[in-house]
Amino acid sequence: MNALGAKIAITGCGSSIPPQVITNDDLSRLVDTSDEWIQTRTGIGRRHLASPDTSLSDISAQAAQEAITMAGLTPRDIDLIILATSTPDDLFGSAAKVQHLLGASNAVAFDLTAACSGFVFALITAAQFIRTGVYQRVVVIGADILSRWMDWSDRNTCVLFGDGAGAVVCQATLREDCLLGFDMYSDGKQHHSLNLSYKGQQKTLKEKVNISQGSYHPITMNGREVYRFAVVKVPEVIERALVRAGISSEEIDWLILHQANQRIIHAVAQRLDIPSEKVIANLEECGNTSAASIPIALDEAVRDGRIKMGDIIASSGFGAGLTWGAVIFRWGI
């Protein structure tokens, strides 16, 4: 299928969650917090953490393989792999390593960084390659290991984040187009609200020639500002995506938001007048897994039978940058 304007089907999903678990009670032994404090403010009860010998490439490949299998394909059928992550194993990128681990020898692979919006941005990017006829079978992965970059003495951030990976397969199709509408935004004026910033130390190479060498600071966040941003911008971007899709919020079967905070999820659903029984959330078990949170929640809901073939899903990612976006899609057509 090479014609401009190819249609898109999302035909498979998968996820990989590390087996190590740290509970709210465990965290109360590390920092001044409690299960009640964390639950009432975030909705999080547990989070899964990657072990020292677990790489981002490993869990990304595992999630992708599950999605490829569900789609009825093999890794050699894949044309393109897009890895949405802010925590690659290699600063030059990890997508090519994932391609190798999968054995997807016919695929080109690249990383995309948009923090917690990454999966939504990557899914929209994949759709453009399919619609222009360049690629026909694309794996989109959202994965992060934020435990690597956490200050485990900062109770404002260490209680929030977990590790994991999720993936979907997008294919060109002659049938109904399942990507119904989308919208994306950035606002660099608010970049200071959520950071994993460079940490440099001056090094003199010779007289009057200095460079900076270093690593990164732990994650810092202004939770109040991120909350204010999310409860306003996320409903707006979903509403715009619905307009582009030509459907109303009443036609949505499921709402899957980035799993940042249960209060944000509740506020957005209320603003859109979407009942709680249509909202998918796994914060209690997984916490905030950044770019992985939406595809992990999607995979769980597909595999347990909640999401069925043809269901319409509204999804939004939002976070560091600040970035935010929404996509409206139909599952499995």
- Under DSSP, is residue 333 helix (H, G, I), strand (E, B) or coil? coil
pLDDT in tens, 41-53: 999 999 999 999 9
β-bridge mates for residue 204, sequence order:
210
**pLDDT exceeds cutoff 50 at 201:** yes
Mean pLDDT of 117-133: 97
- If 0-12 CB within 10 Å is exposed, 13-18 middle and 19+ buried, where does residue 293 land? buried
Whether 158 is catalytic:
no
Nearest in space to 184 (alpha carbons), one of 262, 268, 128, 266:
128
Nearest to 18 by CA among 301, 260, 282, 286: 286
Band of residue 2 on the pLDDT scale cut at 50, 70, 90: very low
Beta strands 279-280 and 254-257, pairing class: parallel
**pLDDT reading at 66 higher than 70:** yes
* Of the listed ranges 52-56, 83-87, 116-120, 197-201, the one predicted with least confidence: 197-201
- pLDDT for res 6: 86
Active-site position among 13, 178, 258, 261? 258
Common-topology check for domains 7-177 and 180-189+220-330:
yes
Residue 17 burial (C-beta neighbours within 10 Å; 0-12, 13-18, 19+): buried
Q: What is the CA radius of gyration of the chain?
A: 20
Q: Is 116 assigned a catalytic role?
A: yes
Name the catalytic one among 13, 116, 170, 286. Answer: 116
Distances (CA, A) of 300 to 62, 70, 93, 286, 323: 15, 13, 27, 12, 25
Q: Which of 65-74, 119-128, 209-218, 273-282 has the lowest mean pLDDT?
A: 209-218
Residue 3 has pLDDT above 80, yes or no: no
Say how far apart CA 166 and CA 290 lie, in whole Å.
Answer: 11
pLDDT at 22: 97
Per-residue pLDDT reduced to its tens digit, 152-175: 999 999 999 999 999 999 999 988
Q: Where are the domains of the chain?
A: 7-177, 180-189+220-330
Q: Is the pLDDT of residue 299 over 80?
A: yes
What are the angstrom distances between the C-alpha of 4 and each of 129, 172, 183, 277, 330? 10, 11, 21, 39, 21
- What is the pLDDT of the chain when averaged over all its residues? 95
| 270, 31 Cβ separation under 8 angstroms | no
pLDDT digits (tens, 9 = 90+) for 252-275: 999 999 999 999 999 999 999 999
Q: Which two tokens stand for residue 149?
A: 């970059």
Amino acid 230: pLDDT? 94
- Judge whether residue 1 has pLDDT over 60: no
What digits encode the pLDDT tens for the residues 217-232?
999 999 899 999 999 9
Q: Is the pTM of this model over 0.85?
A: yes
Domain 180-189+220-330 classification at class level = alpha beta
Please state which CATH number belongs to domain 7-177: 3.40.47.10
195 labelled catalytic: no
